[in-house]
């Protein structure tokens, strides 16, 4: 790979791994037109439900996020946890949400990485980080960087880690060579429909198209409206998020668990919430701070729990 001063892919990857990421790729800071078109069609079909923030078209244009952006460095965090069973006494928490809030984890890493890249290049104001909360079509950039491909459940399937991954990244005004040509030829989903078949609410309405209006994760995390009765009836017991389409994906089978401390259940609220734990959260909402569950707040978690218990 060509160098940009003292900045090579090997040293970028070394720094990324040092800061806690599991993989990294580089691509041009340009969203492919086919991904922009698919995003617009998804909005027109109202598949984003009430997620109005998804309508911000800036996510298609990195130049508007960082003027002069030429390259995107995409980081991968592997978070897979033990598959837990449903039980009669508690609600199950999705794998990604059992530990610390990944937004905070990524922000700390991104600040350190940007400081490092400025020191190495001896240039200031050349990079801007993003981690989900910033409007970016990061999965499209990850595919373009050769890190993986779109699964039929719309998640990125990483060539090594499967779908239990979180993406973050940095736009930079530096022109860096893409890693796409350095990656092995990627497999595809082929004729497999396990994720589509496994979804209890039929939210994956067709390959590569997810309707948020039907998605358990949307209703148990994002939506401010009551959960529709038909969705409640099909929820096997999730109180926050859902892993079902990921558990069904063969690319996640036989994968080891993440060793990152921040994503471990002991670092957050764990894998289940029972009636007693809900009561503790209601008495002291601050225990949710720094965890993904804080997005739902005590009232929302109690509501989700009641929906599960009423169905049972």
Q: With CA atoms as reference, report the closest residue to 97 among 217, 196, 247, 223.
A: 217
Count of domains for the chain: 2
Residue 296 dihedral angles phi and psi, to the nearest 5°: -90, -20
Q: With CA atoms as reference, report the closest residue to 217 among 103, 60, 95, 119.
A: 95
* Element (DSSP H or E) covering residue 148: strand 148-150
CA dist 53 and 134 (Å) reads 10
Q: Are residues 142 and 270 in the same domain?
A: no
Tens of pLDDT along 251-289?
Answer: 999 999 999 999 999 999 999 999 999 999 999 999 999
Q: Is residue 87 part of a domain?
A: no
Q: Are residues 165 and 23 in the same domain?
A: yes
Q: Are residues 288 and 226 in the same domain?
A: yes
Tens of pLDDT along 5-54?
Answer: 578 999 999 999 999 999 999 999 999 999 999 999 999 999 999 999 99
Residues in the chain: 312
Q: Are residues 209 and 296 in the same domain?
A: yes
The pLDDT, as a whole number, for residue 3 is: 44
Q: Is residue 4 part of a domain?
A: no
Strand order in the sheet with 71-78: 23-28, 71-78, 165-172, 127-130
Domain boundary among 128, 162, 182: 182
The pLDDT, as a whole number, for residue 123 is: 95
The pLDDT, as a whole number, for residue 2 is: 38
The pLDDT, as a whole number, for residue 141 is: 97
The pLDDT, as a whole number, for residue 181 is: 62
Q: Are residues 58 and 109 in the same domain?
A: yes
Q: Are residues 171 and 289 in the same domain?
A: no
Tens of pLDDT along 143-198?
Answer: 999 999 999 999 999 989 999 999 999 999 999 999 986 444 566 788 999 999 99
Q: Are residues 177 and 237 in the same domain?
A: no
Residue 222 has pLDDT above 70, yes or no: yes
Q: Are residues 289 and 204 in the same domain?
A: yes
Asked whether the beta carbons of 294 and 129 are under 8 A apart, the reply is: no
CA dist 4 and 281 (Å) reads 50
Domain boundary among 182, 209, 236: 182
The pLDDT, as a whole number, for residue 4 is: 57
Chain centre to alpha carbon of residue 118: 27
Asked whether the beta carbons of 176 and 141 are under 8 A apart, the reply is: no
pTM score, two decimals?
0.95
Domain boundary among 136, 161, 182: 182
Q: Are residues 244 and 199 in the same domain?
A: yes
If you ran DSSP here, which 8-state letter would residue 4 be given? B
Torsion of CA 2, 116, 179, 71, to 10 degrees: -90
- Domain hosting 67: range is 9-81+100-182
Active site residues: 132
């Amino acid at each position: 790979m060509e160098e940009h001063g003292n900045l090579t892919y090997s040293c970028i990857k070394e720094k990324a791994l040092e800061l806690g990421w599991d993989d990294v790729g580089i691509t041009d800071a340009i969203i492919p037109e086919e991904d922009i078109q698919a995003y617009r069609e998804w909005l027109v079909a109202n598949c984003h439900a009430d997620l109005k923030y998804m309508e911000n078209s800036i996510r298609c244009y990195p130049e508007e996020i960082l003027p002069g952006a030429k390259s995107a460095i995409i980081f991968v965090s592997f978070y897979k946890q033990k598959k837990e069973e449903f039980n009669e006494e508690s609600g199950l928490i999705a794998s990604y949400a059992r530990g610390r809030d990944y937004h905070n984890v990524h922000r700390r890493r991104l600040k350190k990485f940007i400081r490092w890249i400025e020191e190495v290049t001896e240039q200031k104001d050349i990079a801007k980080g993003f981690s989900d909360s910033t409007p970016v079509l990061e999965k499209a950039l990850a595919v373009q960087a050769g890190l993986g491909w779109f699964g039929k459940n719309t998640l990125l399937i990483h060539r090594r880690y499967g779908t239990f991954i979180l993406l973050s990244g940095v736009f930079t005004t530096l022109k860096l060579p893409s890693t796409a040509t350095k990656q092995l030829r990627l497999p595809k989903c082929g004729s497999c429909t396990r994720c589509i078949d496994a979804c209890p609410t039929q939210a994956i309405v067709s390959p590569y198209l997810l309707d948020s209006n039907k998605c358990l994760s949307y209703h148990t995390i994002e939506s401010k409206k009551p959960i529709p009765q038909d969705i409640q009836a099909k929820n096997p017991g999730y109180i926050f998020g859902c892993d079902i389409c990921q558990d069904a994906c063969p690319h996640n089978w036989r994968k080891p668990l993440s060793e990152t401390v921040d994503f471990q259940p002991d670092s957050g609220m764990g894998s289940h919430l029972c009636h007693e734990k809900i009561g503790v959260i209601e008495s002291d909402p601050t225990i949710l701070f720094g965890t993904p569950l804080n997005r739902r707040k005590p009232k929302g978690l109690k509501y989700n729990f009641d929906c599960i218990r009423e169905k049972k």
